[in-house]
Amino acid sequence: MKRSSLFSSSIVPLRIVFLMWLLFSLEAYYGWPLSAFGIVPRTWPGLIGIVMSPLLHGNVFHLISNTIPLLFLGSVLYFFYPRLAPTVFFRAYFWTNLLVWLFARPQSIHIGASGIVYALAFFLIFFGVFYRDFRSLIITVVVFLLYGGVFYGILPGDPHVSWESHLAGALVGIGSALTLSRKS
């Protein structure tokens, strides 16, 4: 099995985080209204959000609250599951956002990387449950202890929070854990 170093495992998450901070800085410095490129469900212009929305954030707290888990969970994914990681990350990014575009409440703009964070957290929690080897179960327990709160985030609550992104991420994470654990 190919072994990953801690640094090489964090390259993909670091690139995404770099782009998130770059776009946020450009938006803040030049005043460009980039948030308009978020996902607007079931509209043609809103399709661009499938690519752009995880890179856009409403404020610095929103950005930080996604940066830390994205770096941690992304690195854990690439470190412990290097063979599966590109597939999981691709699904977490694009499938999650596609589900938001298809099913989220209309006339709304969804931004932020929390859908990816939820997909990664749910994948890491459920992969161990489905795969049932010692190492995966340890990862399940550790991620659950650190990010067990994600189970609350998939429920509707604050009207300004895109719980649909969280739910879509959770479904993609669980779905990926199930399908990929069978193939492994």
Partner 1 sequence: MLREFEALEASEVELMLKAPILVCMLVAGADGKIDSKEVNKAIQVARRKAKSSDILWQYFSVASEDFEDKLRILLRNYPNTAEARNEILVEELAALNAVLPRVESSFRRQFYSLLKELAREVAASSGGLLGYNAIDKEEAKYIGLDMIRPPELI
Question: Could you give the C-alpha distances from 126 to 100, 107, 175, in angstroms and in order?
Answer: 21, 33, 9
Q: Which is nearer to partner 1, 7 or 32 (CB)?
A: 32
Q: Which is nearer to partner 1, 86 or 157 (CB)?
A: 157
Whole-number Å distance between alpha carbons of 19 and 13: 10
149 forms part of the interface with partner 1 (CB under 8 A): no
59 forms part of the interface with partner 1 (CB under 8 A): yes
In angstroms, what is the minimal distance from the CB of 167 to partner 1?
Answer: 13
35 forms part of the interface with partner 1 (CB under 8 A): yes
Helix (H, G, I), strand (E, B) or coil at 134: helix
109 forms part of the interface with partner 1 (CB under 8 A): yes
Q: In the numeric block, which tokens belong to residue 138?
A: 């340890």
- Count CB neighbours of 130 within 10 A: 16
47 forms part of the interface with partner 1 (CB under 8 A): no
Whole-number Å distance between alpha carbons of 71 and 77: 10
36 forms part of the interface with partner 1 (CB under 8 A): yes
In angstroms, what is the minimal distance from the CB of 143 to partner 1?
Answer: 23
62 forms part of the interface with partner 1 (CB under 8 A): yes
Q: In the numeric block, which tokens belong to residue 25?
A: 């800085």
Whole-number Å distance between alpha carbons of 83 and 31: 41
Residues that bind partner 1 (CB under 8 A): 31, 33, 35-36, 38, 56-59, 62, 107-112, 114, 159-162, 164-165
